[in-house]
A and B are shown apart, each in its own frame.
Chain A
Amino acid sequence: MELTAPLTVNWTLSYTCNFSCRHCYSRGQARPELPLERVLGLVEELARCRVLFVNFGGGEPLCYPHLWEVARAAADRGLRVSMNTNGWLLDAEAARRARAAGFASVGVSLDGATAEVHDAFRARPGSFDRALAALEHLRDAGVASTVSAVIHRNNVGSYRRIVELAAERGAATVYLHNFKCAGRGAENRTELDLSPGEWRAFYGDALAWRPRAPAELAFDDPILALLGGADPGAVKGSTCGKLSLHLEPDGEVTPCGFIPVSAGNLIDQPLDVLWSTSPVLRKMREKTPEGKCRSCGVYGECLGGCTARAFAATGSFNAPDPHCWAGNGRPQGGPS
């Protein structure tokens, strides 16, 4: 089904951040920020187009001075509001304000099972303890929480403990994100990213553990189709540009935060028009297989895997996902 508008808008209200994480896609970039009145106008536009979910990211959303007002406006217009935060600023008062602002859930990043690993990845001593405390503040305030963990070389061996830490603090879902070689993630890829074979081993283990895990495990990697682990009912391949969009602080739209290619600007164009006419989004939806994808037996299931990773590695939306472990013409993956 071709949608008339995205279901989810991932909204970077500001690139201001109190961290400098080693994997961050935002590459320390800055963008002019719209005045609050225009931002609230964009909330109205999302509501007009019946967007279901808005997720504030960044940058660190809690560094944005009008977060609560924008969130409240979105919630009042019927959108399901969430954010992803590093948790540093999420104290008891912020948790109460999140509840008052109508947040349906708040995601906290936890990228290591120990302070040593998490703090090194986040380049901020004390951030592990603050992230765990943030989850507790959310639980105490009655705000649903999730945890986001970017899987990398230094935490892949202990990802189960991350899930346990999250569950112990009330997080219902843990998103095990694939490592994106974009921005600083590209700069640190050699040190942090896994090999295709290691990704296969990780996903095989996580899928096997999933039914017994203490929290719901969620994945965002289309390459899971190689293991039969993609969620039925969702679109095939990347969801970016098919179900979701990324909105930048100045109204610029990109398919996702990891693909710095403009699909238009909501200051100039209505969202539904941009969604249905953007050539960039069309390319995201109508990929043409390149390289080993041309003769791969499972291309119809994964559609080349993560478009952001392919683009970051090669500059082409259509190139094979660099994490793909399938061989030329014959998928090598299978249930582990």
Chain B
Amino acid sequence: MTVLRRNPSLAWRDEPGARERILAALERSEDVADEGWVILVHAGRMHQLNLLAGEIWLLADGTRDAAAIAAELAGRYDAPADEIRKDVEAFVAECLSRGWLVAEDA
């Protein structure tokens, strides 16, 4: 199995309070697509990850592949598995191309 791991050279931090605020906004059906709760700094630039991207980021701890991350999130958010899988695959592909995540054999 090829698992995903955060690039250890990146500095990052999650903000649980911001995540709670995003979840509350989601409950109110507000658009939270651009609301960040994980910050990562790469090559001197700061990036914010939104709700789903942040969840993927935290789950990419070297124990799961993309399918396992999608399954975990589909259960957590009671969302259609196929939709979540596509979102996870797209974000993981972007992170791999940017060097934010690394894929390695378990």
Answer yes or no: are A and B bound together in one complex. Answer: yes
Interface residues of A (CB under 8 A from B): 1-4, 7, 50, 52-53, 80, 173, 216, 218, 231, 233-234, 243
Q: Is B90 located at the chain interface by the 8 A CB criterion?
A: no
Contact B15 A4 (CB under 8 A): yes
Contact B11 A52 (CB under 8 A): yes
Q: Is B7 located at the chain interface by the 8 A CB criterion?
A: no
Contact A1 B36 (CB under 8 A): yes
Contact A231 B45 (CB under 8 A): yes
Closest 9 CB pairs of A and B: A52-B11, A1-B36, A233-B47, A233-B46, A1-B18, A50-B13, A234-B46, A80-B11, A231-B45
Write 23 A-B pairs (CB below 8 A) sorted by A numbering.
Answer: A1-B15, A1-B35, A1-B37, A2-B18, A3-B15, A4-B15, A4-B17, A7-B13, A7-B41, A7-B46, A52-B12, A53-B11, A80-B11, A173-B44, A216-B43, A216-B44, A218-B44, A231-B45, A233-B47, A233-B48, A234-B45, A234-B46, A243-B46
User: Could you say which residues of chain A place their CB within 8 Å of the CB of B15?
Assistant: 1, 3-4
User: Could you say which residues of chain B place their CB within 8 Å of the CB of A243?
Assistant: 46
Interface residues of B (CB under 8 A from A): 11-13, 15, 17-18, 35-37, 39, 41, 43-48
Contact B48 A1 (CB under 8 A): yes
Describe A's contact surface by its main secondary structure: loop
When chains A and B are docked, how far (Å) is the Cα of A148 from the Cα of B39? 25
User: Could you say which residues of chain B place their CB within 8 Å of the CB of A52?
Assistant: 11-13, 41
When chains A and B are docked, how far (Å) is the Cα of A1 from the Cα of B41? 15
